[in-house]
């Protein structure tokens, strides 16, 4: 099976930059997507195909993917960005989610 590893938690000061990593074997060769999930809500797509933002997603969200690590960056984090974040890719015949990262904005 293909495993995607994320840090359990990331803390960021208000207005600063948060980086959330997603580690996987040669993940740079795969398209990676990112979802934000706030408590009691369904996940929302914030980045697709490594670095593309769906309409309505603020420009402070960006993504990159190379080697064994994909990264979601939140530049100028806001209080409303506090949430769980999940990366997603695929392997063989399955879709795979990362373990999830809780982002706290201090």
Partner 1 sequence: EMQLVESGGGVVQPGGSLRLSCAASGFAGSGFTFDNYAMYWVRQAPGEGLEWVSLISGNGDTTYYADSVKGRFTVSRDNYKNSHYLQMNSLRTEDTGLYYCVKSYSRGWFLGDAFDLWGQGTMVTVSS
Residues at the contact surface with partner 1, assessed by CB under 8 A: 30-31, 33, 35, 37, 42-45, 48-49, 54, 84, 86, 88-90, 93-100
Of the pair 4, 18, the CB lying nearest partner 1 is at: 4
Residue 98 in contact with residue 6, Cβ under 8 Å? yes
- β strands within the chain, DSSP E: 9-12, 18-23, 33-37, 44-47, 61-66, 69-74, 83-91, 94-97, 101-105
Residue 58 in contact with residue 75, Cβ under 8 Å? no
CB of 42 to partner 1, least distance (A): 4
Of the pair 4, 105, the CB lying nearest partner 1 is at: 4
Of the pair 76, 97, the CB lying nearest partner 1 is at: 97
């Amino acid at each position: 099976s293909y495993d995607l590893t994320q840090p359990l938690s990331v803390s960021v000061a208000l207005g600063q930059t948060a980086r959330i990593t997603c580690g996987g074997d040669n993940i740079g060769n795969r398209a990676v997507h990112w979802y934000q999930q706030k408590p009691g809500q369904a996940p929302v797509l914030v980045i697709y195909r490594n670095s593309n933002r769906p309409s309505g997603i603020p420009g402070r969200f960006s993504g990159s993917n190379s080697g064994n690590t994909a990264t979601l960056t939140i530049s100028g984090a806001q209080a409303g960005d506090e949430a769980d974040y999940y990366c997603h890719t695929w392997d063989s015949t399955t879709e795979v989610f990362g373990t999830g990262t809780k982002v706290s904005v201090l």
